[in-house]
Amino acid sequence: MNAHQRQDKVIEAGALGINLRHLRAFSAVAAAGSVAGAAEALYRVASGVTRAISELETALCRPLFERRARGMALNAYGELVLVRAQRIEREFEDARAQLAARGVGASADVRSLFGAILNGRRLAVIASLADKRSMPAVAQEFGISQPAISGALKDLEQGLGVPLFERKARGLSPTPTGEIVAFHFKRVLAELRHIGPDIAASEGRLQGSVMVGALPLGRTQILPMAIARLLAQHPGLHVATVESPYEALAAMLRSGDIDFILGALRVPQDVPDLQQQPLFEDRIAVIARAGHPLARAGRRIDLDALRQSAWALSRKGAPARELLERFFAQARQAPLVPAVETGDLAVLRGLLLESDMLTAISPHQLRYEIRDGSLVVLDFPLDATRRRIGLTLRQGAFASPGARALMAQIGQVVQVSPDFQALDPRNG
């Protein structure tokens, strides 16, 4: 491990240890141009502000200001950190506004409260409690004691004047206020984690973690190819994929748990808070094993032939299933009644290869079996099932350099592959 890599590891590990009060002091100095001006704005002594800046620079292993006779000016590193610091301030302000609407924190400056008692690690603990709902599990995750978690939670609840969790026999359950706090804490954590990668990228290196919400259509070919190509160029990156239904992935995207989603896009009016970038157009197809009776040359395939076959389909409500049912509805036909319903591609693949069952999904999901000839696309066009596939981000999000690089690589995979009908981005 070289000096840069060791330094990157220190920054990455230190991101959750950043004291939010130090970050607020940093923003104040950047705005005032001097420690004295920041101290006056924050009602703090100048020595305290100076110490906060020094400790923040130590945590990030970089100077953030140019010290001048007439004050302090942000350097290039400071400019990068300021972007994230301001986004964190806005998250706390949004949390404060939502809590105030519920009558919470009326007697306290919520932003000062968060900044005074929480560092990134404590944010992560509270957010994890909302997800795991188990204090022992969170204690094990972070390697800390349950009394330490209880103390941090008690400090925050006392400061806000309301409970964040209900204690039940089976664990903890977040209150409505707890849900708001955890949601915004997760967004703040995402910004904190991106500070180190922002700095590294400015020095020509990509590092940190990228979390991708992977819907079925992108898992077989696009995402693996893009990840492999990216990591070949930037081995310091770490990529993790999350496979869940769209609704769950969209919730994770909104809270900052994942960076973007790859898969079928939704109607824009249904997701006004999300930004969608179409990459290519896809349609589902009828797929069977090689040698299937309907795959014989010259065999005429009509709706009656399809109805007489056994089917393995996605579960009710899945996009491919809805598209197929829409096709039959437009043909004034009753929907198919499948013999098997499954969301597992491995199960579906096995059923097709070992029986005369048919399915209707995107050929991209079974690309390798179709390419080697073990599965075939039947000659029954489903033109009415076209849909757009692409990337989905949270509106207003500022992705990490690694996430931006992976999204660019995904776009390149689609552009150069003859398997996809790439869309002109100007018409997306």
Supply 271's token pair: 């997701």
* One-letter identity of residue 255: S
- Asked if 206-280+388-419 and 285-385 have one fold, the answer is yes
Sequence-separated contacts (24+) of 423-426 with Cβ below 8 Å: 423/278, 423/279, 423/280, 423/281, 423/388, 425/277, 425/278
Query: CB-based burial of residue 344 (10 Å sphere; 0-12 exposed, 13-18 middle, 19+ buried)?
Result: exposed
pLDDT at 182 (0 to 100): 93
Residue position matching structure tokens 């302000």:
93
- Any idea what DSSP says for residue 44? -
Q: Which among 127, 87, 54, 428 is positioned nearest to 265, based on CA atoms?
A: 428
How far apart (Å, rounded) are the C-alpha atoms in residues 98 and 95?
5
Q: 206-280+388-419 sits in which CATH class?
A: alpha beta
| DSSP annotation string for 73-98 | EE-HHHHHHHHHHHHHHHHHHHHHHH
List, for the chain, all residue ranges whose pLDDT scores fall below the cut of 70. Answer: 1-15, 105-118, 421-428
Going from N- to C-terminal start, the domains of the chain cover 3-185, 206-280+388-419, 285-385
Could you write out the three-class secondary structure of 339-395? CEECCCHHHHHHHHHHCCCEEEECHHHHHHHHHCCCEEECCCCCHHHCEEEEEEEEC
pLDDT at 371: 92
Task: Dump pLDDT digits (tens) for 333-345.
Answer: 899 999 999 989 9
| 131-149 per-position pLDDT tens digit | 999 999 999 998 999 999 9
Cα atoms in the Cβ-side hemisphere of radius 13 Å centred on 100: 12
Which numeric CATH code is attached to 3-185? 1.10.10.10
pTM: 0.88
Distances (CA, A) of 349 to 24, 217, 290, 334, 369: 54, 14, 13, 26, 9
Report pLDDT for 109: 61
- The per-residue pLDDT for 71 is 87
CB-hemisphere CA count at 13 Å for 370? 18
Q: In CATH, which of 1.20.120.420, 3.40.190.10, 3.40.50.620, 1.10.10.10 is domain 285-385?
A: 3.40.190.10
Contact 177, 104 (CB under 8 A): yes
Give the single-character DSSP code of 423: P
Nearest to 156 by CA among 110, 194, 195: 110
Q: For strand 208-214 and strand 260-264, is the pairing parallel, antiparallel, or unpaired?
A: parallel
Amino acid identity for residue 268 in this structure: P
Per DSSP bridges, beta strands 387-394 and 260-264 are: antiparallel
pLDDT at 8: 44
Q: For residue 264, what are its two tokens?
A: 């079928």
